[in-house]
Amino acid sequence: MAARDLDRVLEKANDTARGLTSYFYTTDLASAFKAAEELDTGTVFINVPPKGDVGPQLPHSGVKASGIGYDRSKYSLEGHYRIKHIAMTPAG
């Protein structure tokens, strides 16, 4: 979608139940940073054509109905753990 109103584009792009990957094309660096920050997807490609697999060195993630957590990285198990810090002083 070509548009002049960046806020409208981002609002429309995020108005979905899915959030796997987004692609954003621009010549404006400020728009690129804003899109990278605000697009609600697990992966955001800025000025990168669709290539399929991004490679085993990068974690793959999704948000919303596209999944929770990461695969293909050290972060893949984080969704299965709940880390709790407990501090205690002996009584008496």
| Domains of the chain by start residue, with CATH | 6-80 (3.40.309.10)
pLDDT at 22: 86
C-alpha 84/C-alpha 23 separation (Å) is 36
Exposed/middle/buried for 63, CB within 10 Å: 0-12, 13-18, 19+?
Answer: middle
pLDDT value for 6: 94
Assign 72 a pLDDT band (cuts: 50, 70, 90): low
- As a whole number of angstroms, the distance between CA 79 and CA 77 comes to 5
Q: Which of residues 33 and 73 earns the better pLDDT score?
A: 33
Predicted confidence at residue 84, as pLDDT, reads 62
* Tens-place pLDDT, residues 9-51: 999 999 999 888 888 898 899 999 999 999 998 888 888 877 6
**Residues 6 or more apart in contact with residue 91 via CB below 8 angstroms:** none
The whole-number pLDDT of residue 23 equals 87
